[in-house]
Amino acid sequence: MRFADIDSFGHVNNVRFLDYLEDARVSMLWERPRELAGRRQDLVVARHEIDYRRPLTFRADPVRVEMWVTEISSVRFTLAYEIRDDETLYVEARTVLVAYDAAEARPRRLDEDELAYLKRFSALAP
C-alpha cells in the first residue's frame, strides 16, 4: 500500500483496488513463460466485479490478495480474489479473462498447457 493510494476520505480509493488485483493476477499468470512455441499467450479482461466489505485505511502492515480460479471454459476463465489480512476481509472480487489472439484481433481457445496451468489454481474438483 502506498500513501498515494489513499483518497480524501482517508481510505484506499476504489480504483486502487483494481491495481492490487492486477498486480496479483500478473504475478500468477506470468509466472510461466509468456511465449510458448513462438506464440504469444495473450489474455484480455472481459469483466471485473468488486464487492467492498470494509474500508482499508493507510497502515504499515501489508494486506494480501488471495486468488483462485473458479471457472474454466475453452476460451475464458474466472478468477476470484479476497483482499484481506488475518482478521478482516476488505474486498471480494472476480475477473473474467478471455484468451486472445492479438494478431487476429479475436478470442482464441486456451491450449492444453494453459488449461493445465489454470487447474493448478482451481477451486473446482479435479
Average pLDDT (94-104) is 94
Record the cell numbers describing residue 36, joined without a space: 510458448
Read off the pLDDT of residues 37-95 as tens digits, 9 standing for 90 and up: 555 568 999 999 999 999 999 888 999 999 999 999 999 999 999 999 999 999 999 99
* pLDDT value, residue 88: 97
Q: Is the pLDDT of residue 119 over 70?
A: yes
Q: Could you report how far apart the first and last alpha carbons of the chain are, in Å?
A: 35
* pLDDT value, residue 7: 82
* pLDDT value, residue 126: 52
Nearest one of 44, 99, 105, 36 to 73, comparing CA atoms = 99
21 against 7, higher pLDDT = 21
Average pLDDT, the chain: 88
Nearest one of 47, 42, 39, 40 to 21, comparing CA atoms = 47
- By three-state DSSP, how is residue 8 classified? coil
* pLDDT value, residue 3: 74
* pLDDT value, residue 33: 52
Q: What is the pTM of this model?
A: 0.86
* pLDDT value, residue 75: 97
